[in-house]
Amino acid sequence: MVSNTTVSDLLKSKEVTEAQVRAAVDAVLLNPKAGPFELAFGWVVDLTSAVRADRHASAVVKEPTAKSGSKRAAVRSAILLALPVKT
């Protein structure tokens, strides 16, 4: 099902928790090619595509001198803007 609902929208509506968003961020930081990720029951987001779609996040993740906090913030922003798929 195609939707214009972002992860941020799901967070605001409490369909996704802050802990679930943190888990998604952690997954990307552990493996930048993480791929599809079940964000919450019934919602899947492609983490690799989310980071690639955000030029800033993509650049920061690849930058070897970037601090972990900067990487975390950039990845979180990219995930919040991502369009998850309802399964």
pLDDT (tens digit, 9 = 90+) per residue, 14-67?
A: 999 999 999 999 999 999 899 999 999 999 999 999 999 999 999 999 999 999
The pairs formed by 9-14 with CB atoms below 8 angstroms and a separation of 24 or more are: 10/39, 10/40, 10/43, 10/84, 11/80
Q: Domain span at residue 41?
A: 7-86
The two tokens of residue 67 are 């601090």
Q: List, in sequence order, the alpha helices (H) in 1-87.
A: 7-12, 18-30, 47-53, 55-62, 68-81
35 within some domain? yes
Global pTM reads 0.93
57 within some domain? yes
Q: Structurally, how many domains does the chain consist of?
A: 1
2 within some domain? no
